[in-house]
Structure 1
Amino acid sequence: MNERQVVEDLQMVEDLQDAENRRNAEDWLAAELADTLDEDYELEISEPAISNEIRRIYRRHHPAAIDRVTYFRTLLHLQSELIKLQDWVQHSKEKIVVIFEGRDSAGKGGVIKRITQRLNPRVVRVVALPAPSDREKTQWYFQRYVPHLPAGGEIVLFDRSWYNRSGVERVMGFADEDEVEQFFNDVPEFERMLVRSGIRLVKYWFSITDEEQQLRFLMRIHDPLKQWKLSPMDLKSRVRWEDYTKAKEEMFDRTNIPEAPWYIVEGNDKKRARLNCIDHLLGLIPYQPVEHEEIHLPERIFNPNYEREVLPKELYVPEKY
């Protein structure tokens, strides 16, 4: 290919890019929507092991589900606002912590996935800590959470948090009543310290009914692609539904402080729960649009004497599809 042909091809690419840039927002939304719908269909057909009977029962309990197109249009709009929030956080060096708590299978992971889906992982981090090690068990209870708190310009999403002590640790007997009482005495002041340090602290509890959790557990049991989500601890927690309810009620009573109140997300309808939570989160934070310099693609430097080396075939991934 001669240099003139390269220049003509480049001009054609630039013309195509200009045409692409001139597409209006509705065209972009339609393309993005189609791509997202494809992902959703892919997830649906990847669950062949779920029996038709369980599907029928589940759908009977969700007769007024939001239609797919409306859901994705709304989700894409909210995700575009999340990008603006991200830009504002970076620009203003804000520090945001969002805690996601709730019963097993309540939908915490689903909303976290939709929040982070289009954001920069260097700005927005998810923290999901495993059970504490023997060493961590001897530390100040909040110590293992502190290193994960945000610096300026960062958002941290806790998929479960220090509230493990008032929930699973208490109900399953991993913490005694003295430790739980110490937690309840300490956590309000700990969170006030975070807020005084400049952290915006938001706490969400995802609420589902007894029947809904049972259905979701059954769907996970019968789906080999989701069985990993069910730990032995999850199954034990199912038996102790009422104990968790009592623990949750005391947690709200003793940790719902003005500086960091709890917000309950009704989670029986997964899609509505995601939209409601993201919309609420955006409404809590006074983010503003951030001006950016216009981006221009720099000129490509061409060396007429350069020839691309032919690499060995074995370096390439086989094109099976």
Structure 2
Amino acid sequence: MFEELNKNIANAKEKLTRKEELKNLLQRTNEDLNAQMAKKKEFNKILHEEQKDVEKVKSSAIAELRYSILGEKEQQEEKGRQEYLSAKLRYDECCSLIANLEKEIVSYNEELNKYVNIELEYEELMKKKERLILQSYDLKPKELIKLIEKIQDLKSNIKETKEAINAGEKVREALERVVSSLKSAKDWEQWDILGGGLIATASKQSKIGEAKGHVYEVQRLLGIFKRELSDVKLSSDMDINIAFFEKFADYFFDGLIFDWVVQSKINDSLNNVYDTSNNVKKLLSTLEGNLNDCERELRTVEEEVRGIIETQ
């Protein structure tokens, strides 16, 4: 009877934990969505201002009077165009993130609906177990209850840690795709410098655009990874620093404007991707260590429970 009841309780506890996890994920996703909506509004304003500046420079009648001024005008046009493209990239990235966050919120709400009455189910099972344990006076009820609850908590943390590791691995793989695209763009840029002509230029731009798409995906996955990390209870004095997540795309785009790219700019963006990848790998290493500690502790506690039951 105890074995079957424990299975039911473990199943209910897992659902209860998942419900709490979903509620936390939903709250953090809504917070991220609100932040991105604010950014979208800000970037949209900047975009319109940059567009006005570009048009203002183009329509300047005074700038047409002398050749020297014309040269200055061309520089101003180029500078304005790059600033406009930078703003456009950030605005597009923001729109992409908003769309994905809205999909995640719908998904979380749909799953939450499956666990409406789980608290009541769990409480009823626990009361039933408590009555059975207290009736079996030969057992050590308090010690056994404490150990079983610890097992359930450890299993929950193991599950959450594995989910965080899975999310981190997806980020790492996406970053590798960014690196691959940028390396290819770098090769085409080298050929362009050596006189590769229109083919080299077009191929370079294609790979840069490909990298941009991968960066949007990295940002989406980083958001999921960040939210999964917040549910992990770390063992010992392990620490997780995720502040770099927030600035990844900004640093990336600061190093790269997608219709005007030189070797040094590609290198800047590559270095930023490498730094982010190294940080993700460190986090994954921390999580793997945490997972090993939890699994080792789980085996120890399960042995204690087995020992108590076998001696009765």
TM-score, normalised with respect to structure 1:
0.26
TM-score, normalised with respect to structure 2:
0.27
**Structure (1/2) with the larger helix percentage:** 2
Q: Which of the two has higher C-alpha Rg? A: 2
